[in-house]
Amino acid sequence: MCERGLTGVKQKLLAAHRAGITTVIIPKRNEPDLDDVPAEILEKLDVHPVSDVRQVLKLALEPATAAVRVPVAA
């Protein structure tokens, strides 16, 4: 992180999308950088701009809304 926030937001969000990540938390001060991300990628991501670590914890610790399947070893 640098003084102005996260660098390379576009690249990080594109990489998250390629990796199958759908929820992303970014610093609020980087919200204007979302303009550089293609609209079709943003439509598939749930981006949360936050200004406080408490917001991060709330998002990270809230229960999942969809059932998560955990593979069982045979």
Tell me which long-range contacts 47-56 makes (C-beta under 8 A, separation of at least 24): 47/13, 48/23, 48/24, 50/25, 50/26, 51/27, 56/25
| pLDDT, tens digit only, all 74 positions of the chain | 445 567 889 999 999 999 999 999 999 999 999 999 999 999 999 999 999 999 999 998 988 766 556 566 65
Buried b (16+ CB within 10 A) or exposed e, 51-69: eeeeeeeeeeeeeeeeeee
pLDDT reported for residue 40: 95
pLDDT reported for residue 1: 42
pTM score over 0.85 = no
